[in-house]
Amino acid sequence: MYKRILLKLSGEALKDNEGLQILNVSHMENIAKTIKDIHDVGTQICIVIGAGNIWRGKLADDIGIDHDSADYMGMLGTIINAVALSSALKRLGVDSVVFSALCNVPDTTVTYNAEEAIKVMEQGKVAFFAGGTGKPGFTTDTAATLRAIETHCEAIFMGKNGVEGVYDKDPTKYNDARFIKEITYDEILKMKLQIMDLSAVELIKDKDIEIRIFSMAVPENFIRVVNGEHIGTICKKGE
């Protein structure tokens, strides 16, 4: 169904369940296998990973680090995660390139360029977009949305932990939370749903790019969504 997608992953998906290690080998291997499965059906893939397993903004407040510096630390964390997952993919025989909007690590990352990233994907490689937007004040949600627009992705896949998709309120707090199978970006903004940063929704609301939100507890869900099954929630531009 999709020729090119952007996969948005949280940094927490890479850490161990006890939180003692920032990277869990088993979790990384499972995610890498899922990416390989998508790659093997012919879908072009680019990936944005958060850094919540390494660095959280609240810790910066507790320590007394200014917000800009804290944001740069988070962006550096996304480079660590991207390089780690890229290595896990290469062990499975899938080539990838880590693009960085922040800084280059010799022999490890290259400077982000949308045209080069598209070429990499057209060559059958996976493109990682690390370093956020390269500027403080923006989340990985915004970075993912910008990169999806710039590289002409058809959809953003957001695998979630603990939920099946979008609800009208937090299902972990409210038993009467209503599951939403399909929703427009304008409705998300009107309801102020915290699916992703609302500033990122503003960027994408007039674009023909879908956001697919579903549970990542079942790795097969990624392939099912790629093949066109309506799992979870579809977010899209209104009529």
For 41-61, write each residue's pLDDT tens digit: 999 999 999 998 888 777 777
Q: How far apart are CA 10 and CA 160, in angstroms?
A: 9
**Alpha helices, DSSP H, located in 41-169:** 57-63, 67-91, 114-122, 140-150
Residue 231 confidence class, pLDDT cut points 50, 70, 90: very high
Q: Residue 82 carries which DSSP code?
A: H
CATH code of 102's domain: 3.40.1160.10
Q: How confident is residue 103, by pLDDT bands cut at 50, 70 and 90?
A: confident
Residue 129 lies in domain? 4-236
Name the nearest CA neighbour of 132 among 118, 117, 147. 147
Rounded mean pLDDT, 73-77: 93
Question: Would you put residue 184 in left (φ > 0), alpha (ψ -120 to 50) or beta?
Answer: beta
Query: Is 69 in a helix, a strand, or coil?
Result: helix
Q: Residue 190 carries which side chain, given as an amino acid letter?
A: K
- Separation CA 144–CA 136 (nearest Å): 15
Q: pLDDT tens, 184-215?
A: 999 999 999 988 899 999 999 999 999 999 98
Number of domains in the chain: 1
User: Over pLDDT 90: what percentage of the chain?
Assistant: 69
**Structure tokens of 202?**
């503003």
What are the tens digits of pLDDT across the range 137-171? 899 999 999 999 999 999 999 988 777 899 999 88
